[in-house]
A = this chain, B = another copy of it.
Amino acid sequence: MATIYEVAALAGVSPATVSRVFNGNTVSEEKQRLVRDAAQQLGFTPNKTARRLRKQSSEIICLLVPDIENPFFTALARGVEDRAQESGFSVVLCNTDDDPAKELRYLQIAASEHMAGVILSPASDEVDLGAIASLGRPVVAVDRTTPYPVDAVKIDNRAAGIAATTALVEAGFRRIACIAGPAGIEETEDRYLGWKQVVTARKTLVRDGFLQHANFRVDGGRAAMNALLDLVQPPDAVVTTNNLMAIGALQALHEAGIDPEDFGVAVLGELPYLLPPPSSVVQVRLPARHLGRTAATMLLERIGGDTQPLRTVVLRAEIARPPLSL
């Protein structure tokens, strides 16, 4: 890898001029040509590490998600990536596994790697944004929020919960349960509050045990559904607050020999690749990709020096019924 000095020597100019050419600063036409020719000849590419050390910043965005195997987050990541590309930024995608220790480790890396900013879906309320914040690097929370004062992009979770539950009520179900995510995550709370609001207002039957907390994965949804089916008076429908738990719930129903057409299921999120989609499943589409794109846009604005007060952008989910055939 050639350096700026070799290019300068070959072109007969100073290293500073070479630097200026590659940073779009004012250089005379002629020297510009000279430099470009020399660079071409040597196959010169600016060394980003050196530039970064000098400038104390890079053009890399760090994206932290809890589960890279969840299609919701891959779609979100695509949104971030597409937007970043447009501005010449690269994206480093990291998987936290919902583990605060891993999350912290990645945040420290982001700081010591001089990354330009961070977009994250926090693993817990206790994210430590100290290191990254003290460097003045912007942070945007996406999907999940944090008590830390940062920009955020989220979904109107309560409205999504209301839409899902309402659809089940209107389909004639009267004993509607809810499988929510782990307690203590605000996003989850809002979603089941939406469910609660509807079942209360519509006076449907709610028994002890109709609200189940589970982890966000397939196995969590399955266990919760089994618990619901074991109740002496089981529900006739269920709202699941994310995509993977819905898969688990549908699996449990299938294993119990229950025809999905006879049991109402509403999902906050989309059932990836599911086919044929049981016609009784209500999907509330969460705009994952758009969520990512919006977060990236906000982050890039901050990186560009935008100093307006902190914002939280709330995106509306869109109900899809009958279900999409994908």
Contact = CB atoms under 8 A, between A and B. Distances in A.
Contacts of A94: 90-91
Given A1-B135, A326-B251, A45 B112 contact: yes
A315 B109 CA distance: 33
Contact of A75 (B69, B254, B272, B325): B69
Given A50-B53, A53-B49, A111-B1, A93 B90 contact: no
Given A47-B112, A69-B78, A134 B1 contact: yes
A250 interface: yes
A48 B109 contact: yes
A77 B68 contact: yes
Contacts of A111: 1, 45
Contacts of A151: none
A59 B94 CA distance: 15
Nearest to A58: B49
Interface in A74-95: 74-75, 77-78, 81, 90-95
Interface string A44-77: 0111111011000010000000001101001101
B247 A276 contact: no
Given A78-B68, A81-B95, A274-B275, A325 B251 contact: yes
A6 interface: no
A113 interface: yes
A114 interface: yes
A274 B254 CA distance: 12
A77 to B, nearest CB: 6
Given A109-B48, A111-B1, A250 B272 contact: no
Interface in A123-139: 131, 134-135
Nearest first, the 8 A-B pairs at minimum CB distance are A93-B93, A48-B112, A92-B92, A49-B53, A69-B74, A247-B273, A254-B276, A49-B52
Interface of A: 1, 43, 45-50, 52-53, 58, 68-69, 71, 74-75, 77-78, 81, 90-95, 106, 108-109, 111-114, 131, 134-135, 218, 247, 250-251, 254-255, 271-276, 325-326
Given A49-B114, A81-B95, 18 more contacts: A1-B112, A45-B108, A49-B52, A53-B53, A68-B74, A69-B74, A69-B75, A69-B78, A78-B95, A90-B92, A90-B94, A90-B106, A218-B326, A247-B273, A251-B275, A251-B326, A254-B276, A274-B275
